[in-house]
Amino acid sequence: MSFDATNSSKSFKSVGTRPLRPDGVDKVTGRARYGADFNMPGQLVARVLRSKHAHAKIKSIDTSRAETVKGVKAVVTAADLPDLTDGDPALFAVLDNCMARNKAMYDGHAIAAVAAIDEKAAKAALKLIAVDYEILPHVTDVDAATLPDAPVLNEAIFTQGVEPKSTRPSNIANRTEFGHGDVDVGFSHADSVVERSYKTEQTHQGYIEPHACVANCNPDGTAELWVCTQGHFVYRQVCADLLGIEVSKLRVTSSEIGGGFGGKTHVWTEPVALALSRKANRPVKLVMSRDEVFRASGPTSATSIDVKIGANKDGIITAATATLRYTSGPYADMWAELGAMTSFACYDLENVKTVGLEVIVNRPKVAAYRAPSAPMAAFAVESAIDELAQKIGMNPVDFRIQNVASEGTQSSYGPIYGPIGIGPTLEAAKAHPHMSAPLGKNQGRGMACGFWFNFGGQTCTDLNISADGTVTIAVGTVDVGGSRASLSLIAAEELGLSYDNIKAVVADTSTLGYNDMTDGSRGTFSTSMATISAARNAIEIMRHRAALMWDIPLGDVYWEDGHAHAAGTKHGNLAPLSVKDIAAEAGKTGGPIAGHSELVADGAGVSFATHICDIDVDPETGSSRVVRYTVIQDAGKAVHPSYVEGQYQGGAAQGIGWALNEEYIYGEDGRLQNPGFLDYRIPVCSDLPMIDTQILEIPNPKHPYGVRGVGETSIVPPLAAIANAVSNAVGVRMTHIPVSPPRILAALTDAKD
Amino acid sequence: MRYERPDTMQAATALLAGAEAKSFVLAGGTDLLVRMQNDDFEADLIVDIKAISGMAKVTETDDGFVIGAGVPSVALFEDTALVAAWPGVVEAANLIGSTQIQGRCTIVGNLCNASPAADSVPALVAAGAVAQVAGPSGTRDVAVIDIPTGPGKTSLAKGEIIQAILLPKPNARTGDAYLRFIPRTEMDIAVVGVAVNLTLNEDGTVIAARVALGAVGPKVILVDTAAKAVIGSKLEDVVLQALSESCSAACTPINDKRGTVAFRTQVAGVLARRAAQTAYTRAGGK
């Protein structure tokens, strides 16, 4: 059934309220079941042997001694995961990342795995696996990898997207370009130009729950997987493809999720657990240690970005360019492309050009991290924008407002914008008391804007009305950021019920149609659309049932405020029928009442934010503290405002950590030096101020309630906002994220010399 | 792995003296239990000393304070006499880990773990603390500075356990302070640590000083030149500058994931100046 998703302005009863979250009590009392909390009888424990070399040819693997350890039931290597990827390079990259085939490509790359009756036996067996490596030269730095003398990491990679075609293998896998106008002409009209190079270090999503799963392959060819994931349907597809299982025979159930932020949109060890279970003919539990999570899952790109922006003396940007180099780990990917697309998305530019270069390095395969690739591009661009504003003597807010994109603007990455929120967030920032509050000694203020695409995608939802008139909704998008609460509010709104009458559950892959994963800030956007559609379908059925119960024509029954009403006066004074009344008679009027919806949620609606940050810097030590932070973001319509605020605060908190201290540190030997939370420094509570939020609601015209995704954009501005604040506090332009105390102190010392 | 919980120190030292190579003493367990999670960790024997009498007590004597090896950091903070006498030692012990960790961790464990970055060790060294070492053939007293010999290494012989830390009674008009640099606000490891202990005469002139640095060398460093720089002064600006420079000069740090040589050297001087000012005030100086 087609569904009209057009926004129709209405007043809401449930949407916009702040009821208690349905998963809260379970989570705070420890009852919630996360990935590692599932167990099966006869379950084995799996452990993975990982490379301690950054780059090495695997000459041979001898597992014979490991197999003899008492309690060991299976040992697998790449030989147990034959290549079924049929020339699909992206799928092959996933396979090779799960288990190295010919070469170990980074410190932490999986080489072999063991399933045993207990941890001790598994650990003992790992020590007995003999791997004969031929150590190869490695490169981990984004810029070093592009130098002529860098070791070529994959002889089969030739730079794509260049003319003439590349004839020599290169660590630059792909080049993409976006923009319009003529930047040379644009720069010739500029009165002031800022041109700088920036760098950001690799960070991890830092989810507190490590990857965990239980895999069970049955002798009849069916299999089950219980796993912590952002997308169990996608995990099912990828695992089935890699293991050669028919998709419908693999049933994947998602657990509660202790953070994902994009890192749980990719499979890591799940195919290995399935391969072990298949070989051992027993269920296998595989839980990554924190060390493994850092070394072999997750991280975002390290980047090196050159930006040039010119403006005339009236404050109009005449031209802007950026060249963005993003690491993707050992395999080709499209992270720089996303950076190139997002760089200048906040601005209305006549002449703009961005170039993205995907760089191969000996680091873990890069994964999505909350608005992937956008924060680094925003850091570089928003730093240059700030500097240019100072150079031409304009207030940084006014300079941005002067050049801001609005409805009808051709974006720097191509599309023409519909109604968007960047202008209103800037106007709100300008008017916000934070912007004019006095600063103390050694304090600086910074601001920055951010953009994210948002996504909709394939969605399927079931809504079942029980005999007592209460409702369950079964959704296929994993609840990462509170979608069960939001969707319950949406169902309550449509059906005219109270929030307490709705129970939302995440269904497994065998009980619901396909759903894309919870990424692209799509969870509440797309699934609310499907939930509204399913509810309206259920209402249609209830109208039929009411007509039957009253024995009047369907056309005389209309639905309002959670009740079927008989139209007009010709049917006498029939009392309206509630959902409960109709549900109670369902067995006599045609059976259970349910609404279904299958749709592709188009029109996600791009998202924008503006952040303001005050920072206090100790000029003698380079120590910094964020003392005030404000997030202003467009939500379209905030379904559950507390969760929306939580998303704003969470993105800002992660961005603050990224900006100030988080970074992957590699040694000369190409090994990761800080694979743990002690030396990979995410912020602790006392590091952060209370993060203020301001929700703007500029309705998305393509959602019935005007909803836009809100999960990701909040991490885009912080790197730039903080770098601008620190630069303003110390009077030296900071161009390397994280702006950690040693970098701040070194910059101050250099400036003095 | 064998776990033992003896009730006398004699039994504990005998167990360790007779043990295989991989044996460990367990008090607070905040380092050991974490290490036990590592794939590479193996142990034959763990000797838990918390059941031995006196381990959990802080005793004030005529000479000073005896702090048992099982006393958690938080208990030091709750001992008002100790806080009054050695505020710098207590503040250092209460910077270790987190609030939860401080409920279990001990300054003896901090010392025996022999991390160059241990927070309480520079403070103990500046205070002139002594470790009371029990062994199979009796006890001996060792200056705290002589316990660590390098990262993860101590001068303790096989079978020896530090059963207590002895802190002297401070002279009149004495004050100590400890400051460390961490990139976060808590739950972190010192990139630089500085402890200063000063004794003043009636007119506020420094007559005795000890300055100790942590995390800027393979083990804690007692900086005699820094002490000489402040003795005879009232911490005038030029003296503080000399103190700062002598501390920076005494640093022998490395570049690592926690900081650079330049950063550590520079910040050691800054923290020394700030810690000295706090110690001076605590000693009654104005």
One domain, residues A595 and A561:
yes
Name every chain A residue with its beta carbon within 8 A of the beta carbon of B270. Answer: 620-621
Chain B residues whose beta carbon lies within 8 Å of the beta carbon of residue A742: 259-260, 262-263
Q: Do A488 and A378 share a domain, yes or no?
A: no
| Closest CA relative to residue A716, chosen from A232, A358, A379 | A379
Residue A747 — very low, low, confident or very high, per pLDDT cuts 50/70/90? very high
Residues forming beta bridges with residue A696, ordered by sequence position: A634
In this structure, the dihedral spanned by the alpha carbons of residues A405, A409, A415 and A417, taken in order and rounded to 10 degrees, is: 70
Q: How confident is the model at residue A450 (pLDDT cuts 50, 70, 90)?
A: very high
* Same structural domain, A469 and A385: no
**Mean per-residue pLDDT, A234-263:** 97
Residue A204 lies in a domain: no
CATH superfamily of domain region B174-282: CO dehydrogenase flavoprotein, C-terminal domain (3.30.390.50)
What confidence category does residue B1 fall into, taking pLDDT thresholds of 50, 70 and 90? confident
Q: How far apart are CA B66 and CA B70, in angstroms?
A: 12
What the block records as the tokens of A500 is 């307490």
Q: How far is CA A719 from CA A202, A722, B286, in A?
A: 13, 5, 43
Q: Are residues A680 and A596 in the same domain?
A: no
- In B, residues 203-232, which contact A (CB 8 Å cutoff)? none
Q: Give chain A's domain count.
A: 3
Kindly indicate the confidence band of residue A479, based on its pLDDT and cuts at 50, 70 and 90.
Answer: very high
Mean pLDDT of A108-127: 97
Q: Which of A123, A625, A746 has its CB closest to that of B262?
A: A746
Do A613 and A733 lie in one domain? The reply is yes
Query: Could you give the percent of chain B with pLDDT greater than 70?
Result: 100
Per-residue confidence (pLDDT) for residue A444, from 0 to 100: 98
Task: Establish if B183 touches chain A: CB-CB under 8 angstroms.
Answer: yes
Give pLDDT, residue B38: 82
Distance separating alpha carbons of residues B61 and B132, to the nearest angstrom: 15
Determine the pLDDT at residue A212: 98
Q: How far is CA B140 from the centre of its chain?
A: 19
Helix (H) or strand (E) holding B57: none
Summarize pLDDT for A259-269 with one digit per residue, the tens.
999 999 999 99
Cα distances from A712 to residues A65, A371, A453, A696, in angstroms, run 48, 5, 9, 16
> Which of B191, B260, B270 is the closest to A620 by Cβ?
B270
Does residue A673 fall inside a structural domain? yes
Distance CA A279, CA A156 (A): 32
Chain A contact set for B187 (CB, 8 A)? 684
CA distance A554 to A243: 52
The structure tokens 């270069």 sit at A357
Residues of chain B with CATH 3.30.465.10: 2-115+128-168
A19-33 residue pLDDT tens: 999 999 999 999 999
Distance between CA atoms of A24 and A254, rounded to whole angstroms?
Answer: 18
Residue A390 lies in a domain: yes
- The distance of Cα A1 from the centroid of its chain, to the nearest Å, equals 30
In this structure, the answer to whether residues A609 and A651 fall within a common structural domain is yes
Q: What is the mean pLDDT of chain A?
A: 97
* Nearest residue on chain B to A689, alpha-carbon basis: B185
Residue B237 touches partner A, C-beta closer than 8 Å: no
Query: Which string of DSSP letters, residue by residue, matches A235-280?
Result: HHHHHHHHHT--GGGEEEEE---S--TTTTSS-SSHHHHHHHHHHH
- Closest residue in A to B258 (Cα–Cα): A679
- CA dist B124 → B43, B267, B279 (Å): 30, 21, 14
In a domain, A148, yes or no: no
The H-assigned helical ranges of A245-373 are: 270-280, 290-296, 335-342
A13 belongs to a structural domain: no
- Domain with A282, as residue range(s), is 43-136+209-258+264-296
Q: Which of A123, A679, A742 is opposite residue B263, by nearest beta carbon?
A: A742
Cβ contacts of A678 on chain B, cutoff 8 Å: 188-189
B63 Cβ neighbours under 8 A, 6+ residues apart = B166, B168, B169
Question: CB–CB of A275/A283 below 8 Å?
Answer: no
- 8 Å CB contact of A679 and B258: yes
Q: Is the pLDDT of residue A365 over 90?
A: yes
Same domain, A680 and A715: yes
Per residue in A613-659, pLDDT (tens digit) is 999 999 999 999 999 999 999 999 999 999 999 999 999 999 999 99
pLDDT tens digit string along B188-202? Answer: 999 999 999 999 999
pLDDT the model gives residue A563: 96
Residue A177 included in any domain: no
pLDDT tens digit sequence for A572-588: 789 999 999 999 999 99
Distance of residue B188 Cα from the nearest chain A Cα, in angstroms: 6
CB contact under 8 A, B263 and A687: no
Pairwise CB contact (< 8 Å): A621 & B181: yes
Q: Number of CB pairs < 8 Å for A and B?
A: 59
Which of A577, A601, A625 is the endpoint of a domain?
A601
CB contact under 8 A, A684 and B267: no
Tell me which chain A residues have a C-beta less than 8 angstroms from the C-beta of B183.
623, 660-661, 681, 740-741
Judge whether B262 is closer than 8 Å to chain A, CB to CB. yes
Here the tokens at position B203 are 């007119």
For an interface test with B, which of A50, A617, A623 has the most B Cβ atoms less than 10 Å from its Cβ? A623
- CB-based contact (8 Å) between B77 and chain A? no
- Residues A506, A557, single domain; the answer is yes
Residue A220 sits in a domain whose CATH number is 3.90.1170.50
CATH-assigned architecture of domain B2-115+128-168: 2-Layer Sandwich (3.30)
- Is A687 close to B185, i.e. CB distance below 8 A? yes
Residue A290 placed within a domain:
yes
How many beta carbons lie within 10 A of that of residue A113, not counting itself? 31
Q: Which residues of A touch B254 (CB under 8 A)?
A: none
Whether residue A258 is predicted with pLDDT greater than 50 in this model: the reply is yes
- pLDDT score at B155: 98
What pLDDT was estimated at residue A3? 87
What is the distance in angstroms between the Cα of A686 and the nearest Cα belonging to chain B? 6
Is residue A115 domain-shared with residue A253, that is, in the same domain? yes
Distance in angstroms (rounded) separating the CA atoms of residues A647 and A506: 20
Partner-chain contact A674 B257, CB within 8 Å: yes
Mutate to test the interface with B, among A615, A617, A621, A658 (most CBs of B within 10 A): A621
Report residue A753's pLDDT band, with 50, 70 and 90 as the boundaries.
Answer: confident
Other C-beta atoms closer than 10 Å to the C-beta of A290 total 15
The C-alpha atoms of residue B265 and residue A746 are separated, in whole angstroms, by 12
Closest alpha carbon within chain A to B267: A621
- CATH of residue A624's domain is 3.30.365.10
Average pLDDT over residues A714-735: 98
Question: What separation, in Å, do the N-terminal and C-terminal C-alpha atoms of chain B show?
Answer: 57
Residues A555 and A466 in one domain: yes
Question: Which member of B188, B260, B270 has the closest CB to residue A742?
Answer: B260
- pLDDT digits over B147-187, tens only? 999 999 999 999 999 999 999 999 999 999 999 999 999 99
Last residue of a domain, one of A561, A581, A601: A601
Q: What is the 3-state secondary structure (H, E, C) of A182-210?
A: CHHHHHHCCCEEEEEEEEECCCCCCCCCC
Residue A336: alpha-carbon gap to chain centroid: 16
**d(C-alpha A199, C-alpha A380), whole Å:** 8
- The DSSP-derived string for B38-49 is STT---SEEEE-
Give the model confidence (pLDDT) of B49-81 as tens digits: 999 999 999 999 999 999 999 999 999 999 999
**Whether residue A472 sits in one domain with residue A325:** no
Chain B residues with CB inside 8 Å of A126's CB?
A: 39
Q: Is the ipTM, as predicted for this complex, more than 0.90?
A: yes
pLDDT at A458 over 50: yes
Among A621, A622, A681, the residue with its CB nearest the CB of B184 is: A681
Tokens read off for B247: 């501390």
Whole-number Cα distances in Å, B60 to A391, B9, B169, B177: 65, 21, 9, 21
Task: Look at residue A1 in the predicted model and tell me its pLDDT.
Answer: 47
Check if B40 contacts A (Cβ < 8 Å). no
Which residue of B185, B192, B248 is the best one to mutate when testing the A interface, meaning the one whose CB has the most A CBs within 10 A? B185
pLDDT at A116 over 50: yes
Residue A655 near residue A714, CB atoms below 8 Å: yes
Query: Looking at the complex, does the CB of residue B258 fall below 8 Å from at least one CB of chain A?
Result: yes
**pLDDT for the residue numbered A455:** 94
Residue A729 in this model has a pLDDT that exceeds 60: yes
Residue A544 sits in the same domain as residue A630: no
Contact assignment for B267 to A745 by CB distance below 8 Å? yes
| Span(s) in chain B for CATH 3.30.390.50 | 174-282
**Helix axes A641-660 and A718-730, enclosed angle (nearest 10):** 50
